[in-house]
Amino acid sequence: MCGISGLVNCGDHETLARMTHVQAHRGPDDSGLWERRFPDGSYVGLGSRRLAILDLSSEGHMPMCNEDRTIWITYNGEIYNFAELRRELESEGHSFASHTDTEVIIHLYEQEGTDCVKRLNGMFAFAICDLRLATPTLFMARDHFGIKPFYYFHDGTRFAFASEVKALLQVAQIEAELDPESLHQYLTFLWVPDPKTMFRRILKLPAGHYATLRDGDFKLRQYWDLTFPPANQTYARSEADLEEEIRERFRRSVEAQMVSDVPIGAFLSAGLDSSSIVAMMSKGTMSKATNEPVHTYTVTFPQKYRVGETTLDDPEVATRLARHLGCENQRIVVEPDVTGLLPRLVWHMDEPTADPAIITAYLVCREARKQATVLLSGVGGDELFAGYRKHLAHYWAQAYAKTPPMARGLAEAALAALPGLRGTPVKGRLRLFKKMARSASLAPVDRFITNCTYFDGNQKLGLYTSDLAAETSQWDPAGPHRAAFERVNNADFLHQMLYLDTKIFMTSLNLTYNDKMSMASSVEVRVPFLDRELAEFVAWNVPPNLKLKGFFAPTTKYIFRRAMRGMLPREVLQQPKAGFAAPVDYWLANDLREMIDDLLSGERVRRRGLFRPEAVQALVNEHRRGRQDWSMQLWQMLTLELWMQNFLDGGAATYESELLAPNQVATA
């Protein structure tokens, strides 16, 4: 696991060194640079920070090259089928100097060219500089699901890339400028959908894509997509057969992702997904071979934080499960200094991401790093098997639409009039019902998108200044969502929802914050549910009614729950969905009260020129009086202001100075 960076015809050695060093948290074990100045004056440089996971020797140093030094790579990720690929390549005559998966990618590229990405099973973002032709070619790729990040800037013959935006901002030609269209999306969804970022002219390489750059010509191609059968598909396999097949495929995925030369552990929330991973780890051949208990980590907050939040209210469930599976569980009870922590985490995130789960993810990784370098996570289970409440909401809305219009109108008016009910156990459910009520009468696609939003169109118009309202009026923030639905419009609607969640929500939010928050603590997070072959099997062989079973009270992830019978206790199999959340409402009312008054003050909001100060103050007042639950929206605006202070006002220099002095980077 590493932080990668690179330059083509912009910057110099010192720039590349700064780009590499500002990502030191991604790879504290080693660093390296490779660069070449060509006779025509063109320049290429690659940088790497290494977190050593496989082959801890110096043979794993990057950037790495082939035998005749004509192909150089900087790489971030893990290839789980690398041993199989290595044996195949050795049979073709390739020789290896290390035991790394990095070298396998080099030789596979020599053998198959750009098609090499189709053979890789794992998570990766890499760049290869190919010097075999008269003009150097840069080949870049990002894994199938977008588990690992790849940011880039392209302007004519100038090109730069990195694992994190803060590295790109070390390049003199790249300015930190806010992108208004991305701001419009951020206020809609809490985050910016790929491939855009909040920075003008900085983009992400999309998941399942590769790109080539030669003589300034940048070409982007998709090499993989998750597909689904048509809605009228007849499914041949029995439920019992599917249970067995899914269990075995999932077992193989977990076991493959336990390969490591450093200590490995797992998140354990006691939800279905993390519990299933831990169950497979504890019963797998790898754990039996080491005769060591699996180390698991559970994060929880003191009781005062948890009232009304949609998280598991009983951390003892995880304790009992760990005991049942023979694991060594560490419960991490946190009461963080959120006012001091949040600005630094915004810096680590690069982009404003208003999901408070970033704090929870960071805290558990920070504590786990004292014992483990690799953690397995349950990200992806909800997208594969239909585990979110918004999937349930589609079926509830269908039933709701059959009620008389007058009854619906009365119910919606009553819900809208209810206060936020802060500090009560029903607060989260009320917020869900209010969101469902405003979308229930819409067409399915619009309903699903609306259920994913926070500020709606009218609310944003009331919030924006006249200039920003005029500028954003030309854009549909849900454009990427509609395009995703269109790509699978012949599939069952549940599969359409799962496709959108996999391609947009999971990649742009869940995988992004898992990468950034784990790497902030120099921890590698692996995601066994996102084994490509497992995902493809589930997409094409499990019918929608075995993913979400029932109508009025559907069972989420039904087939996966059935597959894990006998491996997990009943209380875990019947556990309701629980978010990897944090007590936002409590923090806003207590720890963050002064920060809100300062950062969202009328004077500061007016100076930014984006929002109407009186509209922002109205949100603060209504929330504090309990008239409406604006907790997520206020968290959005607080996160946005901290991001602007860090990246637009230069506040990030405070954190970067800690890393960039002294500036010592090994070169190759």
**What are the residue boundaries of the structural domains of the chain, listed by start?**
2-224, 239-386+506-573, 584-663
Phi, psi of 124 (to 5 degrees): -165, 150
Return the structure tokens found at 66: 């082939």
Note the pLDDT of residue 423: 63
| Euclidean distance between CA atoms 291 and 285, whole angstroms | 10
Two tokens, residue 372: 């483990």
Pick the CATH number of 2-224 from 3.10.150.10, 3.30.310.50, 3.40.50.460, 3.60.20.10: 3.60.20.10
Phi, psi torsion values for 380, nearest 5 degrees: 105, -20
Task: Kindly report the average pLDDT of the chain as a whole number.
Answer: 90
Number of CB atoms found within 10 A of residue 304's CB? 11
Alpha-carbon span 33 to 22, nearest angstrom = 14
Structure tokens at 534: 């497992």
Residue 440: its pLDDT value, please? 74
Q: Does domain 239-386+506-573 have CATH number 3.40.50.620?
A: yes
Cα 440 to its chain centre, rounded Å, is 28
Residue identified by tokens 């999901």 is 355
- Beta strand 71-79 with 64-65 is antiparallel
Which structure tokens are listed for 329? 């569980």
What count of other Cβ atoms lies within 10 Å of the Cβ of residue 56? 15
Q: How many residues does the chain have?
A: 668
452 is catalytic: no
Range 464-493 average pLDDT? 97
Q: Is the pLDDT of residue 445 over 70?
A: yes
Tell whether the model's pLDDT for residue 60 goes beyond 90. no
Please tell me the number of Cα atoms within 13 Å of 285 on its side-chain side: 7
> How confident is the model over 544-576, as pLDDT tens digits?
999 999 877 789 999 999 999 999 999 999 877
Question: Mean of the pLDDT values across residues 327-338?
Answer: 88
pTM above 0.85, yes or no: yes
Question: Going edge to edge, which strands form the sheet with 217-222?
Answer: 64-65, 71-79, 122-130, 137-142, 209-214, 217-222
Note the pLDDT of residue 402: 72
> In the predicted model, is pLDDT for residue 195 greater than 70?
yes
> DSSP code of 234?
P
Over residues 11-31, mean pLDDT: 95
Which pLDDT does position 663 carry in this prediction? 41
The tokens describing 100, both together, are 């790394």
What are φ and ψ of residue 138, in 5° steps? -105, 125
Q: What is the amino acid identity at position 528?
A: P
How many CB atoms lie under 10 A from the CB of residue 651? 17
Which residue reads 């010097």 in tokens?
A: 131
Q: Reply yes or no on whether the pLDDT at 82 is more than 60.
A: yes
Spell out the SS3 assignment of 592-652: CHHHHHHHCCHHHHHHHCCECHHHHHHHHHHHHCCCCCCHHHHHHHHHHHHHHHHHHCCCC
pLDDT score of 424:
65
d(CA 647, CA 347) in angstroms, rounded, equals: 8
Per-residue 3-state assignment (H helix, E strand, C coil) for 2-29: EEEEEEECCCCHHHHHHHHHCCHHHCEC
Q: What's residue 56's pLDDT?
A: 80
DSSP strands (E only) in 187-263: 203-204, 209-214, 217-222
Check: CB of residue 79 under 8 Å from CB of residue 105.
yes
Among residues 486, 484, 388, the alpha carbon closest in space to that of 435 is found at 388
Least confident of 309-323, 477-491, 588-602: 309-323
User: Per residue in 595-645, pLDDT tens?
Assistant: 999 999 999 999 999 999 999 999 999 999 988 889 999 999 999 999 999
Query: If phi over 0 gives left and psi between -120 and 50 gives alpha, with beta otherwise, what is residue 611?
Result: beta
pLDDT band for position 579 (cuts 50, 70, 90): low
Tokens of 645: 């202070």
Least confident of 248-252, 292-296, 535-539: 292-296
Residues near 142 by Cβ (< 8 Å), separated by ≥ 6? 124, 125, 148, 149, 150, 204, 205, 206, 207, 208, 209, 210
pLDDT recorded at residue 589: 87
> What's the 3-state SS for 515-570?
HHHHHCCCCEEECHHHCHHHHHHHHHHCCHHHHCECCCCCECCHHHHHHCECCECH
Non-local (6+) Cβ contacts of 521 within 8 A are 25, 362, 365, 366, 368, 369
Does the pLDDT of residue 436 top 80, yes or no? Answer: no
Residue 102 binned pLDDT confidence (cut-offs 50, 70, 90): very high
Among 2, 10, 65, 129, which one carries the catalytic annotation? 2
Asked whether residue 252 carries a pLDDT value surpassing 70, the answer given is yes
- How large is the average pLDDT for residues 407-421? 70
* CA angle (312, 380, 535) in 5-degree steps: 145
CA distance 27 to 2: 5
Q: What is the CA 613 to chain-centroid distance, rounded?
A: 32
DSSP symbol at 294: P
pLDDT value for 188 = 97
CA–CA–CA angle 572, 493, 185 (5° rounding):
85
pLDDT (average), residues 148-161:
97
Q: Give the pLDDT of residue 666.
A: 34
How many Cα atoms within 13 Å fall on the side-chain side of residue 276?
Answer: 30
Looking at residue 132, its pLDDT comes to 94
- Give 580's pLDDT tier (boundaries 50, 70, 90): low
Nearest Cα residue to 649 out of 611, 613, 599, 612: 599
Nearest Cα residue to 530 out of 295, 316, 269, 224: 224
CA distance to 156, 540, 661, per residue, from 199 (Å):
18, 37, 26
| Spatial distance between the Cα atoms of 230 and 216, rounded to a whole number of angstroms | 41
Q: Are 503 and 486 in contact (CB under 8 A)?
A: no
Name the band, by pLDDT with cuts 50, 70 and 90, for residue 314: low
Count Cβ neighbours within 10 Å for each residue of 113-138 and write b for 16 or more, e otherwise: ebebbebbbbbbbbbbbbbeeeebbb
Choose between 399 and 183: higher pLDDT: 183
Q: Is 205:212 a contact under the CB 8 Å cutoff? A: no
Rounded Cα distance, 299 and 585, in Å? 18
Whose CA is closest to 260, among 516, 55, 26, 523?
Answer: 55
| Whether pLDDT at 2 is above 90 | no
Q: What is the pLDDT of residue 306?
A: 61
Higher pLDDT, 215 or 581: 215
| 32, β-bridge pairs | 48
